[in-house]
Amino acid sequence: MPLLKKIARLSNLPAMPTLLMEAIQQINDTQNLMTLVGKIAQEPSIAVRILRIVNSPFYGMPREIGSLREAIVLLGLNRIRDMLISICFAKILPTQHKDFDYRRLWHHSMAVAECSRQLAGLSGYSPDFAFTAGLLHDIGCLVIVMLFPDEFSRIINEPAASLIETERRILGFDHLQIGSKAAQYWNFPLAIQEAIEQHDKPPEPGFATSLGLLVYAADLLIIKTEQSDQSALAEHQPIRAALAVLNISIDQAITCTDNGMQFADQFLALY
């Protein structure tokens, strides 16, 4: 099938949940964020999930938080929006595919999101964009599963060293490219579209900090930790190069990684 016809399949993607789209479009828009919170209150199942997360050990509240308003006062509007995006993200996961580990992708995406947010706080970048870009960085994998399920099975079952190279050979594109195209189709902010496409690209000499670089660093840190290889983080040259550009120490990065993993563990345990 010609590449253009494959890309045209994006029109078959399901619509994003309305609350998710509104939350993404209103990043850094505090005025409209209050309106969004009002809509969350009208969705009891989502409000309850948010309160369960707020009361999880990750936040270490001294007492139980019983209302969305109180949660906003303690954590801030932006943090509540992050939780909303996380909950809504779960709703776009496909229902079934024998070769796709949904829970693994979900956990990885949550961990990268929180790690990206914390790295952003150390590097002067917007934590809000960083969290969302980290959460959605592998959305291209979901798109491939949804639109090309048979090709996905071929990709995942081939003993190839590089997933991206296998995707390009079988599909003519990789999950970064199709993920960015899908983000464009869904009208995500341009910065998130670019971060999705760039999150696997190491920094080059003279490379400036960017949202894509933040997610690239967070993704590597989480992958190494998932592989039970956190002790090797300080020796991993791509990680060291990315952290050097971001001006973040390895000790700071390890703390961000640990927090990202804890956030993902507790989010999934409560969902």
Compute the average pLDDT of residues 48-58.
Answer: 88
Confidence (pLDDT) at 233: 78
Kindly state the percentage of the chain with pLDDT values over 70.
Answer: 91
User: What are the φ and ψ backbone dihedral angles of 210, each rounded to 5 degrees?
Assistant: -155, 170
Q: Which domains does the chain have, with CATH numbers?
A: 17-91 (no CATH), 103-270 (1.10.3210.10)
With 70 as the cut, is the pLDDT of residue 90 above it?
A: yes
Cβ atoms of 85 and 133 closer than 8 Å:
no
pLDDT digits (tens, 9 = 90+) for 239-260: 998 999 899 999 999 999 999 9
The model's confidence at residue 84, banded by pLDDT at 50, 70 and 90, is: confident
The model's confidence at residue 113, banded by pLDDT at 50, 70 and 90, is: very high
pLDDT digits (tens, 9 = 90+) for 147-191: 898 999 999 888 767 888 999 999 999 999 999 999 998 888 899
Query: Which residues have C-beta within 8 Å of that of residue 150, sequence separation ≥ 6?
Result: none
Given the structure tokens 């956030």, which residue do they identify?
Answer: 263
Query: What is the DSSP annotation of 50-81?
Result: HHHHHTSTTT--SS----HHHHHHHH-HHHHH
With 90 as the cut, is the pLDDT of residue 234 above it?
A: no
80: which 2 tokens? 């509540």
Confidence (pLDDT) at 229: 65
Higher pLDDT residue, 228 or 109? 109
The model's confidence at residue 29, banded by pLDDT at 50, 70 and 90, is: low
